[in-house]
Amino acid sequence: MNRRAKHKIILIAWIITFFLMGSGVWGFQAGHLMVIGFFMASLVLYGLAAFLMRCPKCRMPVLLRPRKVLGMELYTWSILAPEKCRHCGEILH
Ligand SMILES: [Zn+2]
Query: Each residue of 43-70: pLDDT tens digit?
Result: 999 888 888 888 889 988 888 888 888 8
Report the C-alpha gap between 69 and 55 in whole angstroms.
Answer: 24
pTM above threshold 0.85: no
Ligand 1 centroid, distance to 88 Cα (angstroms): 4
C-alpha to C-alpha distances, 19 to 23, 25, 26, 30, 32, nearest whole angstrom: 6, 10, 10, 16, 12
Q: What is the pLDDT of residues 9-48, one digit of tens each?
A: 988 999 999 888 888 887 888 888 888 898 999 999 988 8
With residue 64 as reference, give the H or E element that holds it. Answer: strand 64-69
Report the C-alpha gap between 13 and 83 in whole angstroms.
Answer: 21
Ligand 1 centroid, distance to 41 Cα (angstroms): 28
- For residues 12 and 79, the answer to whether their CB atoms sit within 8 Å is no
Task: Name residues with Cβ closer than 5 Å to ligand 1, which is an ion.
Answer: 55, 57-58, 85, 87-88, 90
Ligand 1 centroid, distance to 54 Cα (angstroms): 8
